[in-house]
């Protein structure tokens, strides 16, 4: 039991449950299917982004360009869709967006792997470059006339339950997030490449001495982040039923915070899919439901910041104390 409570996932789960109870007891409308399905819908895009951020943090890097990749892929895909494939199924749009995202992710991979530049510096540069180029090319033009397949996807439902006021609708894109999360869990746990990412985050030099090809691992990581960002961007645009170049960019810190809150460390070598999902849910609940208990919008960031500081600070303090005890035992 003590070992279970010491796990970071357990602390995040307890915090999430406590926050839900506080909100629900103050406003019973929180405990409804409509609210649950709305929160799940609100966590779809962040959950997809978080899977890419997770492997970057595990590898010891940091990527802040994924939102720019997502909005660029969305806008380019919507343009191509409308011009050449207006009647194509939605899967075609996701494939196009994923390919565009993959190409942009390879730009990050090239500079990081070939020149061994700091990941934060490279991705800050590509964030500005990609988003700046998009704004230069189209300005603030918002595409509101989207292909029928994107509109149909936004209106689709996996489960619709009649309630007192309307219906509680569960969007099928939730399954997409679940599928990606399960795939990431299997990849990290059971593949050699997944284990090599943990090794790279633990110590790049040790990973290289152990025979891992660090460059190939880095190419894979940042190409994958680009690919999954393209999918997330297309998902966001379809659900929003528009492509706005000002959307998404700016939420990267929230996603990174959710992943760190879930147990991943900025120094690399640690992180789990379960912890990441719990972190995403906690941030989503905090952002979307604090208003139900009367917390003004301007104070929501303060509350979320406190939650993140506590959620990441407690495990760090606990680890430091454990390290001191181990060191003391070694001296004895």
Per-residue pLDDT of the chain (332 residues; tens, 9 = 90+): 445 445 678 888 888 899 889 888 888 888 888 889 999 999 999 999 999 999 999 999 999 999 999 999 999 999 988 889 888 899 999 999 999 999 999 999 999 999 999 999 999 999 999 999 888 877 778 888 888 899 999 999 888 888 777 788 889 999 999 999 999 999 999 999 999 999 999 888 888 888 899 999 999 999 999 999 999 999 999 999 898 888 888 888 889 889 988 888 888 888 999 999 999 999 898 887 777 777 776 777 777 677 667 666 666 676 667 666 555 544 55
Question: Residue 234's pLDDT is what?
Answer: 95
The class (CATH top level) of 2-324 is mainly alpha
Q: Tell me the two tokens of residue 165.
A: 């006021």
Domain assignments of the chain as residue spans, ordered by start = 2-324
Question: Residue 41's pLDDT is what?
Answer: 92
pTM above 0.95, yes or no: no
Per-residue buried b or exposed e for 13-29, using 16+ beta carbons within 10 Å of the residue's own CB: bebbeebbeebbeeeee
């Amino acid at each position: 039991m003590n070992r279970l409570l010491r796990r970071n996932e357990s602390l995040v789960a307890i915090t999430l449950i406590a926050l839900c109870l506080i909100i629900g007891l103050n406003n019973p409308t929180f405990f409804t299917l409509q609210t649950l399905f709305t929160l799940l819908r609100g966590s779809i895009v962040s959950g997809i982004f978080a899977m890419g951020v997770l492997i970057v943090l595990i590898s010891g890097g940091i990527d802040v360009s994924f939102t720019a990749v997502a909005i660029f892929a969305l806008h380019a895909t919507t343009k191509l869709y409308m011009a050449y494939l207006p009647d194509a199924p939605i899967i075609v749009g996701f494939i196009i967006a994923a390919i565009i995202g993959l190409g942009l992710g390879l730009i990050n991979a090239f500079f990081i792997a070939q020149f061994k530049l700091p990941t934060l510096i490279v991705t800050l540069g590509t964030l500005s470059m990609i988003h700046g180029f998009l704004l230069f090319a189209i300005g603030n033009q918002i595409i509101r006339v989207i292909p029928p397949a994107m509109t149909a996807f936004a209106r689709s439902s996996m489960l619709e339950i009649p309630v007192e006021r309307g219906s509680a609708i569960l969007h099928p894109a939730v399954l997409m997030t679940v599928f990606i999360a399960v795939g990431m869990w299997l990849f990290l746990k059971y593949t050699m490449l997944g284990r090599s990412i943990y090794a790279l985050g633990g110590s790049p030099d040790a990973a290289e001495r152990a025979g891992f090809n660090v460059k190939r691992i880095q190419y894979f990581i940042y190409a994958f982040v680009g690919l999954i960002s393209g999918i997330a961007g297309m998902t966001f645009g379809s659900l929003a039923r528009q492509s706005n170049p000002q959307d998404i960019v700016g939420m990267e810190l929230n996603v990174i915070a959710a992943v760190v809150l879930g147990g991943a460390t900025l120094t690399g070598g640690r992180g789990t899919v379960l912890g990441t999902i719990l972190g995403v849910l906690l941030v989503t609940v905090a952002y979307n439901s604090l208003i139900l208990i009367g917390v003004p919008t301007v104070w929501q960031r303060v509350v979320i910041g406190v939650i993140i500081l506590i959620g990441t600070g407690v495990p760090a303090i606990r680890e430091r104390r454990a390290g001191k005890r181990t060191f003391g035992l070694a001296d004895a």
